[in-house]
A and B are shown apart, each in its own frame.
Chain A
Amino acid sequence: MAVTTGQVGVSSVPEESSGKGLKVGALSMISSLVIGVASTAPAYSLAATLGFVAAYVGVYSPAVMLVAFVPMLFIAAAYYYLNRADPDCGTTFTWVTRAIGPRTGWLAGWGILVTDLVVMPNLASIAGVYTFHLFGAHGIANNSSGFWVTFVGVIWLIIMTAICYIGIELSARTQMALLGAEIVILFVFAIVALAKVYAGHPAHSIRPSIEWLNPFNVHPIGALTAGMLLAVFIYWGWDTAVTVNEEAKDTRRTPGRAALWSTLVLLLIYVVVSAAAQSVHGVGFLTNGNNIDDSLNALGSAVFGSPWNKLLIICVLTSASSSTQTTILPAARSSLSMAVHKAFPKRFADIHPKYLSPGFSTLMFGAISIVWYVGLDLLSPGDILANSIEALGFGIAFYYGMTGFACVFYYRKHLFKSVKNFIFIGLAPFIGALILTVLFVIAIFYYSDPVNSASGTQAWFPFIHFNFTFLHQHFYVKKGLGPPLVLGIGFLLIGVPLMLIWKIRNKSFFQRDREVAESVDSPAPPLTPGVIPLRD
């Protein structure tokens, strides 16, 4: 607890009254569990991906949900160790700048910003669609690019940006209650669904099979990759569980245990719910044109009936709201950090004098999100949900991959000092980054053919065509590229010229050497000397 001295002596306010030591530890463990799971937003993630994953991998969604966690877990190790050295809110931006160099670091920071931007239309759209479902206006909800859904989506973005700007927070208790309700409702949904399958044989229902957990059943590899990239997204945000509670009293155990428990909760939810969802009326029910982009709503009606299906809709909305916040907050903090370290225009470092939020960064991110949401609606009417969610995987794979590599580079002198170091700081982050890189590359080829993206019929840049074989896969594109590829890669590539322009105008950020960790436990020196006093 930092306390400054006035004219009287030094004094301090204790963090919590020390008499309830055990309770404090237990609470912070639960609150970091809540933060980890709420940031991952299971109900929203399922609502956004369930239909699309099933469209790629058929009945093997549960397997994909399971294996996609592997790279996530490995990258979380990188987050954990890098955060120990430098708990900067720029995260990947600062870490990659230190370990690999300022140019790559800048691009990694750009990667975070555009990935956060790409998901915003999806969040807004889901919020719009499910709001209309909640009030029974299914006709309006089914037109996800229609005026009214977009209108509600824009209002949603405005409200969420305002919440982050003003700094309104739910109390820890309310957050816990909302998340608890979300988890309970999802499990009740799964149990009721499975009970119906075994008791009543609904139309096209299928009984769960252990084979659903075997990813090697998925062919071709491109489909598995596309499914994996979507499934990586459902775990996106989970890394906060390992980094957020560094200040908890029992730091040696709390983050680890919170991460472990949140992992179990998430894995269970995703595997059980995806299995139950496809059991009810078969995979076709999830992937048909009416249900693919709002499958949880369709399933809610099929499983719970009215009015209980509203519970599922409400839980998608509360989940989307926490996910929107956990997208805006880190995006604004990344641009804040980049500005502080002179890698971004100075105004982005402004902190609102009253609300104490990164004011300019937050408002800019909100405004650009709205412009992009409306823009994407106009660019790809009808396919906004598919295109935004599929494009997202590229950004996540890029900056999570960079984080993994940065960890190995940064701690390279210490990897062989102990078995523990080698496995957790070296091997795990490296393999995680490698998996993501491979997914990234294969997905480029897979999505290059518009036929392979969920929107299917849309092809962008029709003058592009090619024909070749890679990894025993024949790639033949008659005309144009799939929108997910154009969006996912395009946004990342825009960063290259921007970085070069910034480099010409502001040399100071780019004049630095790579760093290497002095020890596994020592905090890193300030990235930009004198700019921000890093404490403990």
Chain B
Amino acid sequence: MAGDIILGYDGSDGSKAALAVAVAVAHAFDAPLSIVFGYEPNPMGGETADYKAKLEKIGEEMVAGALAAAAAIDSSVRTESLVVPLRPVESLLEAALERQARVIVVGGTGERPIVGAILGSVPHKLLYRSDVPVLVVPAGDE
């Protein structure tokens, strides 16, 4: 069955706004919500194992916060968290493939469009590469 709602979460304002929407979507579909945090140190710099471990810890704290926030919004939604050692876009695509995702929800970057285009924003890349629908949630006027 078409399954999870995948949420990309990195603690930014956009991803917080996306969290609220993702919970509502998960509730509407009665589908489990997977909260994904992806990270990967640039392999060009040599050894990274301990640096990676540190990023993993940051990721775990981040998704733990997101799980709590999701439960506070709507405790009836089943949630789980994934900390994936791949670049953010790759980790969302992998998780979507693995979970046969119904939709990937991400926050808008909140950056000006040109900055996003130069730096390569996550939603932008997802729109081109994802096989499942992508829902981009604007960060709001904070």
Contact residues of A with B, CB < 8 Å? Answer: 1-9, 11, 13-14, 17, 31, 35, 38-39, 83, 87-91, 164, 166-169, 239-240, 243-246, 322, 325-326, 329-330, 332-333, 336-337, 340, 351, 353-354, 356, 358, 532-536
Question: Would you call B53 and A532 a contact (CB within 8 A)?
Answer: yes
Question: Would you call B82 and A4 a contact (CB within 8 A)?
Answer: yes
- Assembly CA distance A13 to B4 (angstroms): 13
Question: Would you call B43 and A166 a contact (CB within 8 A)?
Answer: no
Contact residues of B with A, CB < 8 Å? Answer: 10-12, 32, 34-35, 39, 41-58, 60, 63-64, 67, 71, 78-85, 87, 91, 94-95, 97-98, 119-120
Question: Would you call A354 and B83 a contact (CB within 8 A)?
Answer: no
Question: Would you call A11 and B80 a contact (CB within 8 A)?
Answer: yes
Question: Would you call A535 and B58 a contact (CB within 8 A)?
Answer: no
Question: Would you call A89 and B120 a contact (CB within 8 A)?
Answer: no
Question: Would you call B46 and A329 a contact (CB within 8 A)?
Answer: yes
Question: Would you call A89 and B98 a contact (CB within 8 A)?
Answer: no
Q: Which residue of A lies closest to B56 (CB)?
A: A2
21 contacts between A and B (CB under 8 A): A2-B56, A3-B82, A4-B63, A7-B78, A7-B79, A7-B80, A11-B80, A31-B43, A35-B44, A39-B46, A83-B47, A89-B50, A89-B51, A244-B47, A322-B44, A333-B46, A337-B51, A358-B51, A532-B50, A533-B57, A535-B56
Set A14, A326, A340: member contacting B50, Cβ < 8 A: A340
Question: Would you call A351 and B67 a contact (CB within 8 A)?
Answer: no
Residues of A within 8 A of B98 (CB): 13-14
Question: Would you call A88 and B95 a contact (CB within 8 A)?
Answer: no
Residues of B within 8 A of A88 (CB): 47, 49-50
Question: Would you call B94 and A13 a contact (CB within 8 A)?
Answer: yes
Residues of B within 8 A of A2 (CB): 56, 83-85
Residues of A within 8 A of B48 (CB): 87, 89, 333
Question: Would you call B44 and A5 a contact (CB within 8 A)?
Answer: no
Residues of A within 8 A of B43 (CB): 31, 35, 244-245
- Assembly CA distance A87 to B84 (angstroms): 20
Question: Would you call B79 and A6 a contact (CB within 8 A)?
Answer: yes
Residues of A within 8 A of B32 (CB): 8
**B18 shortest CB reach to chain A, Å:** 15
Q: Which residue of B lies closest to A170 (CB)?
A: B44
Taking A164-B42, A329-B42, A333-B47 as known contacts, 8 extra A-B pairs with beta carbons closer than 8 A to each other, sorted by chain A number, are: A6-B63, A14-B94, A35-B44, A166-B119, A246-B49, A333-B46, A351-B58, A353-B11
Question: Would you call A534 and B85 a contact (CB within 8 A)?
Answer: no
Q: Which residue of B lies closest to A167 (CB)?
A: B42
